Chain A
Amino acid sequence: MPIISYKQALNDAFAEEMTRDESVFLIGEEVAEYNGAYKVTEGLWKRFGSKRVIDTPISEAAFLGLGVGAAMMGLRPVVELMFWSFAYVGFDQIINNAGCVRYMSGGLINVPMVIRGPANGGTAVGATHSHTPENFLANTPGLKVVSPSTPYDAKGLMISSIRDNDTVCFMESTLLYGNEGEVPEGSYTIPLGVADIKREGTDLSLIAHGPAVLTSLAAAEILAAEHGISVEVVDLRSIRPLDEETILNSVAKTHRALLVDENKPFCGVSAQIAALIAEKAFDELDAPVTRVTALDAPAIYSFPLEKIQLPTADRVVAKALSLF
């Protein structure tokens, strides 16, 4: 199987879907002639032309709204945010329009749009460029939120997201773009709302999404090698819809849950998972549900400190050991 990067997997997904469906187009800042700020859309403008790959001025609210309006008319926009942090100036368009139009129209109008871009800290760009708004978005019924951790998942989830009839907020990571992995040639889909067990284990469930999955896998190695603890790593992949079954089954198997989350802890994604386990798997637990999250302050610039502000394998290991 070919080994390609995360961003190449996304690029392949766009190219395949644009070839398959004339209604798919890419729009955003620097996506066309510049080839994408992070080169995720590299080569696509040259291949598909200015009608299908469209550069915009720096006007997130307008081009997000343009995407919603075009999607209401049956097109399938893929809107790039250079950073998900920039979504905040266009939040009205995402939350009120993309998120609520279907409901407020009694189901008459669909908004089949993908909004995508990186949503991660860890790159020393300060608080304004390091947000992880998946919790805000997932708090909006009507929106779907996915966050792949591997090239394989990135491609399969992107194709599903483009074909989905609802707005999908697709959270990527600049720190994952260069990661390589096995990706089959040709189109395939991964359904939204299906988690993936990235590592099987019996003693503890680490539950994570996005880059935190890799942190969890690294921690699992240490826990196995140095402490003889068998760790299962559940990659949520989709935050909404959420694969409750896979989470609950894993907890029922290991009886211990540690949530690893680069989102902030307060009303974050991990808070939702904790509530789910408390409500539906309380009797399975041999230890309290605990979390390792981003430390609860705006993202700090100073890079050695930013590294420890985000979940590290060491923090995960220490927390895990406290559960036994």
Chain B
Amino acid sequence: MHEGEQAAQASINKALIPEQKIAALRDMLRIRRFEQLSLKFYQQGKMGGFLHLYIGQESVAVAAASLMSGQDEMITAYRDHGHALAVGMSMEECMAELFGKATGCSKGKGGSMHFFAPDKHYWGGHGIVGGQVPLGLGLAFALKYKNIPGCALAFLGDGAINQGPVSESLNLASLFDLPLVIIIENNGYSMGTSLARSSSIKNYLAERAEGYNMAWDTANGSDFYELRAKLHHIMERARKESKPCILEVATYRYYGHSVADANAKKYRTTEEIEAYKANHDPISLWQEQLLKEKILTEADIEKLDEAAKEEAAASVAFAEASPWPDPASIFEDVYSQIDQGTHFFS
């Protein structure tokens, strides 16, 4: 049997009802349309700073979120819009955050790289490459400490794997038997530096797990069924045996490291990007799968896509209409017990 068909037959995928398969497509489309529109308004100068687009990688966050139990936790790096929407954050609060508005998910205090929703078990959104992995270690530690049978999903990119704290965290996770699921979203480029120029490996980045006596696997990020089957397997192991592991997902980003990355097409060819879009796009492939399974028609897909575009447009309208944060709010949310009268600037 073809590997993809095997994945489709995995129990976790066979258990999916059509509505859940459609929901996965809806979520992927929502992420893509949200980000495409955010790009447009970023280029119009409506947003500050950086905008790291997840377009091309949507299947990964959606697959992971679809498997979260309610007792699982998620954390990621600065390419975080997709994960945020996948766990159920609203487009409105996310777009408003990009616009720097008071109605943003972080009241305009975090920006693109720093979305959080602890009520949805989503712990950010972190700006320093690899710096979120020790936090993911802590999430896993807390689960075990509290005897909660969940796992912590810590996402990082291929560029982050070479940060020292990541290696330290791998060792500690294995040493302490923590339910930490490390997901390397390997999109091939550490900003403008290709994998071959940034990492010394035999075959896979995830192979480094061997040095830590940790299990590892790889997955094709374009294949939603395979992603779910492999993630399910390691998440269950983490939950039941309290063991960490690494899953390296082969994926691709269509835009630059950030939108400010003017060299996006200098360190790779246009042909490479176009070939990936044509042959490996996770949304196109999932759409084909659902057409093949006769769960959706072309018209149904068109409707889902239109709805995603409308929702994104509405989120922009919401963001545009929202107020800026009050200047006094600069001093709020610094300390749990606000420094009344003791702050230097008070």
Interface residues of A (CB under 8 A from B): 25, 51, 56-57, 59, 61-75, 89-90, 92-93, 96-97, 101-110, 112, 141-142, 144, 164-166, 193, 241-245, 272, 276
Tell me how far the C-beta of A190 lies from the nearest C-beta in chain B, rounded to whole angstroms.
Answer: 15
Told that A64-B134, A105-B116 touch, could you supply 13 new A-B pairs with CB distance under 8 A? A62-B134, A65-B138, A66-B137, A66-B172, A68-B135, A69-B139, A72-B135, A73-B138, A101-B124, A102-B335, A166-B335, A272-B344, A276-B344
Bound: A105/B111 CA distance, A: 10
A61 touches B164 (CB 8 A): yes
Tell me how far the C-beta of B119 lies from the nearest C-beta in chain A, rounded to whole angstroms.
Answer: 8
Q: Across the interface, which residues of B come within 8 angstroms of A107, CB to CB?
A: 107, 332-333
By DSSP majority rule, is chain B's interface helix, strand, loop, or mixed? loop
Bound: A64/B142 CA distance, A: 14
B336 touches A61 (CB 8 A): no
B134 touches A93 (CB 8 A): yes
B118 touches A108 (CB 8 A): yes
Say whether, besides A71-B138, A106-B107, A106-B109, A242 and B344 are in contact (CB < 8 Å).
yes
B334 touches A141 (CB 8 A): yes
B335 touches A144 (CB 8 A): yes
Bound: A57/B141 CA distance, A: 15
Stretch of B125-133, B232-240, B266-274 lying at the A interface: B125-133
Bound: A103/B126 CA distance, A: 13
Chain A residue with minimal CB distance to B345? A141
A96 touches B128 (CB 8 A): yes
Interface centre among B123, B135, B336 (most CB of A within 10 A): B135
Say whether, besides A106-B105, A108-B106, A243-B342, A165 and B134 are in contact (CB < 8 Å).
no
Q: Across the interface, which residues of A come within 8 angstroms of B168, CB to CB?
A: 57, 59, 61-62
Choice from B73, B125, B145 contacting A51 with Cβ under 8 Å: B145
Q: Within 8 Å of chain A (Cβ to Cβ): is B241?
A: no
Choice from A25, A69, A112, A142 contacting B134 with Cβ under 8 Å: A69
Tell me how far the C-beta of A99 lies from the nearest C-beta in chain B, rounded to whole angstroms.
Answer: 9
Interface centre among B73, B131, B138, B336 (most CB of A within 10 A): B138
B339 touches A241 (CB 8 A): yes
Tell me how far the C-beta of B197 lies from the nearest C-beta in chain A, rounded to whole angstroms.
Answer: 24
Q: Across the interface, which residues of B come within 8 angstroms of A243, CB to CB?
A: 342
Chain A residue with minimal CB distance to B166? A62
Bound: A130/B128 CA distance, A: 28
Tell me how far the C-beta of B155 lies from the nearest C-beta in chain A, rounded to whole angstroms.
Answer: 14
Q: Within 8 Å of chain A (Cβ to Cβ): is B56?
A: no
Say whether, besides A62-B171, A69-B141, A109-B118, A104 and B106 are in contact (CB < 8 Å).
yes
B137 touches A69 (CB 8 A): yes
Bound: A25/B146 CA distance, A: 12
B137 touches A105 (CB 8 A): no
Chain B residue with minimal CB distance to A59? B168
**Which chain B residues numbered 310 to 346 have a C-beta less than 8 Å away from chain A?**
332-337, 339, 341-344
Q: Within 8 Å of chain A (Cβ to Cβ): is B169?
A: yes
Bound: A63/B75 CA distance, A: 17
B114 touches A105 (CB 8 A): yes
Tell me how far the C-beta of B132 lies from the nearest C-beta in chain A, rounded to whole angstroms.
Answer: 8
Q: Across the interface, which residues of A come within 8 angstroms of B146, CB to CB?
A: 73, 75
Q: Across the interface, which residues of B come within 8 angstroms of A244, CB to CB?
A: 341-342
Bound: A147/B159 CA distance, A: 39
Bound: A70/B134 CA distance, A: 10
Q: Within 8 Å of chain A (Cβ to Cβ): is B165?
A: yes
Q: Across the interface, which residues of B come within 8 angstroms of A25, CB to CB?
A: 145
Tell me how far the C-beta of A178 lies from the nearest C-beta in chain B, rounded to whole angstroms.
Answer: 32
B165 touches A92 (CB 8 A): yes
Tell me how far the C-beta of A279 lies from the nearest C-beta in chain B, rounded to whole angstroms.
Answer: 9
A166 touches B336 (CB 8 A): yes
A70 touches B336 (CB 8 A): no
Q: Within 8 Å of chain A (Cβ to Cβ): is B192?
A: no
Bound: A141/B336 CA distance, A: 12
Bound: A74/B123 CA distance, A: 13
B333 touches A103 (CB 8 A): yes
Bound: A259/B137 CA distance, A: 42
Question: Nearest 10 A-B pairs (CB), nearest first?
Answer: A69-B138, A65-B134, A62-B168, A165-B336, A73-B142, A107-B333, A106-B107, A59-B168, A241-B342, A69-B135
